[in-house]
Amino acid sequence: MFCFSKVWLLALGLTASVSPLVTLSAFLILGIIYLLIVPLALFYWMNNRWNIMGKFERLFIYGLVFLFFPGLILFAPFLNLRMNGQKES
């Protein structure tokens, strides 16, 4: 199994050893995307389109909420998604 993966790495022009710094930076970038960027974009999208979403878009959003739940939990105490009340005139 190891030889098979080594052959694929060499075919792609990569060496078999990867620097730990590259691995840590890849994990850091993926973690930032998973825990910060996508959940904030998802909160923004839900806040703007909550009352006008169709059923398939809502199903897609619910799937993304399930997928990015840890990041959404991090921001939930700081965000307010309630509708604005009617303004007095």
Joined together, the tokens standing for residue 75 give: 């921001």
Which structural domain range is residue 56 located in?
A: 18-78
Q: Does any domain span residue 64?
A: yes
Q: How many domains does the chain have?
A: 1
Neighbours of 39 (CB within 10 A): 23
- To the nearest 10 degrees (0 to 180), the angle between helices 55-67 and 38-49 is 150
Q: What is the pTM of this model?
A: 0.70
Q: Does any domain span residue 59?
A: yes
> What whole-number distance in Å separates Cα of residue 37 and Cα of residue 41?
6
> What whole-number distance in Å separates Cα of residue 80 and Cα of residue 89?
24
pLDDT of residue 14: 59
pLDDT of residue 15: 58
Comparing 78 with 80, the larger pLDDT belongs to 78
Which of 8, 82, 14, 85 lies closest to 43 in space, CA to CA? 82
pLDDT of residue 5: 56
Furthest CA-CA distance within the chain: 75
pLDDT tens sequence across 4-44: 555 556 666 655 567 889 889 999 999 999 999 999 999 99
